[in-house]
Amino acid sequence: MQTILVRVNLDIEGEVSENALRLKDALKTVKSLSKSTNKIVLLSHRGRPKGYDPKLSLEPLKEVLEKHLRRRITFFTQFDFPKIKKTIEQAPAGSIFLLENLRFLPGETKNSLSLAKKLASLGGWYINDDFATSHHANASNVALPKLLPHRVGPILKKEVDILRNVMKKPARPLVLIVGGAKASDKLKVIKHLLKKVDYVLLAGGPGNTALRAKGMNVKKSIHEPKMIKEVKKLLKSDKIIAPLDWLEYQGSIVDIGPKTIERYSEIVKKAKTIIWGGPLGAFEDPKFRAGSEAIAREVALGKAFTVVGGGETTELILQLGLENEVDLLSSGGGAMLAFLAGEKLPALETLGLQNE
């Protein structure tokens, strides 16, 4: 009997939706392991907290996981490692445990060895099945696997295998759609992807940053002021298209407008390969999802080879019941784009997957 530490991705925004790909993936991971008598300790982060933040607790995920697994899960609210270790040791074979959001600890995003050692003390094996965080060197995906015998999780392996083939000889035109709230990771990789793609359609945080770089007042809209200079350079390429019109609500851009939907749809219709990371507006509010929904339908119902990545974008596809029309749903947003751009992803390097 072994205790296996399993890095999954329960980074689900807002209210936990049962339609979240990351939840479905985590359930598959746990089911594949819980056939044995092993004890499983689930590790994840949620959001980008600065210290403890009850809104980003993993506790609601424990309940959803329990419901779907029909198994009891012990959730640790505190990072009292000696106590956690004792509880795990005393639990019966086959028990499942979930630690609180690792990003409540400053060491997680600092790839702290001391945190990794504490985590390693809880088990004898480590499995990483979280592709979506691979572009970050964190304690739970870089320092920790170096301390324990480790394996690559089946879902992470499958995502990497498919993504590795996407850029080999893509059918053209190759269209990249980049939206969502997390703009900086995505904007950083567009430069590298520019050589490989025919069009880049921007929206969300990356789109707002482009509008600001073009001199528009984006008011309270999510954007990356630090990236303006870089984005100005990117906009010199006529492959990059920023929104032509948009919907504004309380000083924030919340969706692309009808002209943009029309223009982006025309380009998507001609595409032979589409890579999409990040919704085109605040789609979680039905009033602001017209753009994301229209483009999702064009992407899914066309004939192109389609890869859709990221927590929110995949959730949109699942909500619309379009999952069977898409060739790959990737759990990773920023990670997927970084991988496709040819970057070295620290967690994959640690697992020995990057140089294949």
Binding-site residue ranges for ATP:
186, 284
Under DSSP, the state recorded for 103 is G
277 binds ligand 3PG (CB under 6 A): no
Please report how close the Cβ of residue 25 comes to ligand 3PG at its closest, in angstroms.
12
Pairing relationship of beta strands 73-76 and 39-43 according to DSSP bridges: unpaired
9 binds ligand 3PG (CB under 6 A): yes
Contact residue for ligand 3PG among 1, 2, 31, 48 (CB under 6 A): 48
Please report how close the Cβ of residue 135 comes to ligand 3PG at its closest, in angstroms.
8
Per DSSP, the three-state class of 231 is helix
Q: Where are the alpha helices (DSSP H) in the chain?
A: 21-33, 59-69, 81-90, 106-109, 113-120, 154-166, 183-194, 204-213, 228-234, 258-270, 290-301, 311-319, 334-340, 346-350
| Length reported for the chain | 356
Q: What angle do CA 15, 46, 334 make, to 5 degrees?
A: 105
Q: Which stretch binds ligand 3PG (CB under 6 A): 56-64, 186-194, 264-272, 329-337?
A: 329-337
| Sites for ligand 3PG among residues 131-170 (CB under 6 A) | 132-133, 136
Contact residue for ligand 3PG among 333, 338, 346, 348 (CB under 6 A): 333
Q: Residues in contact with ligand 3PG, total (CB under 6 A)? A: 13
Please report how close the Cβ of residue 279 comes to ligand 3PG at its closest, in angstroms.
13
- For the record, the structure tokens of 173 come out as 């035109």
Contact residue for ligand 3PG among 311, 340, 345, 351 (CB under 6 A): 311
Q: Which stretch binds ligand 3PG (CB under 6 A): 29-37, 55-63, 254-262, 327-335?
A: 327-335
Residue 116, CA distances (Å) to 110, 155, 252 in order: 11, 23, 40
Q: Which stretch binds ligand 3PG (CB under 6 A): 33-41, 91-99, 130-138, 250-258?
A: 130-138
Residue nearer to ligand 3PG on the CB measure, 46 or 118: 46
Which residues are registered as beta bridge partners of 219?
A: none
Please report how close the Cβ of residue 165 comes to ligand 3PG at its closest, in angstroms.
21
Rg (CA), the chain: 20
Please report how close the Cβ of residue 250 comes to ligand 3PG at its closest, in angstroms.
25
Whether 80 contacts 121, CB under 8 Å: no
Please report how close the Cβ of residue 181 comes to ligand 3PG at its closest, in angstroms.
10
Q: Which stretch binds ligand 3PG (CB under 6 A): 128-136, 157-165, 249-257, 320-328?
A: 128-136
Residue nearer to ligand 3PG on the CB measure, 46 or 150: 46
344 binds ligand 3PG (CB under 6 A): no
Please report how close the Cβ of residue 105 comes to ligand 3PG at its closest, in angstroms.
15
Binding-site residues from annotation: 186, 284
Residue nearer to ligand 3PG on the CB measure, 47 or 124: 47
Under DSSP, the state recorded for 351 is T
Residue 206, number of CB atoms within 10 A of its CB: 32
Distance of alpha carbon 339 from alpha carbon 329, whole angstroms: 15
106 binds ligand 3PG (CB under 6 A): no
182 binds ligand 3PG (CB under 6 A): yes
Residue nearer to ligand 3PG on the CB measure, 205 or 333: 333
Distance of alpha carbon 153 from alpha carbon 308, whole angstroms: 20
11 binds ligand 3PG (CB under 6 A): yes
HSE-CB at 223 with a 13 A cutoff on CA atoms is 25
Q: Which residues contact 99 (CB under 8 A, 6 or more apart)?
A: 41, 42, 43, 44, 58, 76, 79, 84
Please report how close the Cβ of residue 128 comes to ligand 3PG at its closest, in angstroms.
13
Distance of alpha carbon 195 from alpha carbon 211, whole angstroms: 22
Contact positions vs ligand 3PG (CB under 6 A)? 9, 11, 48, 132-133, 136, 182, 185, 311, 332-335
